[in-house]
């Protein structure tokens, strides 16, 4: 039987960031590039679909600490990790997929 995506990622939560950052070629450059591509004005609002633990947001908040982010992810553990890492940021976190949000 296929594993649900949220469960798949939550089972790998403790290794997820290490894997993403150290086992994928150019990951650090990718997250930095992505962060630099986002709006930089004070208090801007963005949505992050499939936000996971917020590896892109880690970089983005360094560049724009006043950004207001809505993050959507299938894995509750990922959202919890993101919330704990960025307690001081304005985050709205939604458990679900963008498909669920758009088509209910």
- The pLDDT-based confidence of 17 (bands split at 50, 70, 90) is very high
pLDDT at 66: 97
**Range of 95's domain?**
5-103
Give this prediction's pTM: 0.88
Tell me the per-residue pLDDT of 32-58, one tens digit each, with 9 for 90 and over.
999 999 999 999 999 999 999 999 999
Decide if pLDDT at 1 tops 60: no
For residues 98 and 10, give the distance between their C-alpha atoms in angstroms, rounded to a whole number. Answer: 18
For residues 51 and 31, give the distance between their C-alpha atoms in angstroms, rounded to a whole number. Answer: 12
Q: How many domains does the chain have?
A: 1
Q: What is the dihedral of CA 89, 92, 79, 2, to 10 degrees?
A: -160
Tell me the per-residue pLDDT of 61-91, one tens digit each, with 9 for 90 and over.
999 999 999 999 999 999 999 999 999 999 9
Tell me the per-residue pLDDT of 92-103, one tens digit each, with 9 for 90 and over.
999 987 677 677
For residues 11 and 19, give the distance between their C-alpha atoms in angstroms, rounded to a whole number. Answer: 13
- Cβ(77)–Cβ(95) below 8 Å: no
Contacts of 11 (CB under 8 A, 6+ apart): 3
- How open is the CA angle 48-33-58, to the nearest 5 degrees? 50
Domain containing residue 28: CATH number: 3.40.50.150
pLDDT at 104: 67
- Cβ(29)–Cβ(22) below 8 Å: no
């Amino acid at each position: 039987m296929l594993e649900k995506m949220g469960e798949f990622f939550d089972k790998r939560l403790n290794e997820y960031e290490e894997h993403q950052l150290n086992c994928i070629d150019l990951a650090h450059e990718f997250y930095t590039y992505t962060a630099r591509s986002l709006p930089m004005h004070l208090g801007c609002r963005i949505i992050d679909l499939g936000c996971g633990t917020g590896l892109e947001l880690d970089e983005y908040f360094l560049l724009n600490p006043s950004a207001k982010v809505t993050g959507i992810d299938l894995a509750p553990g990922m959202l919890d990790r993101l919330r704990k890492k960025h307690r001081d940021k304005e985050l709205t976190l939604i458990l679900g997929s963008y498909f669920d949000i758009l088509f209910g």
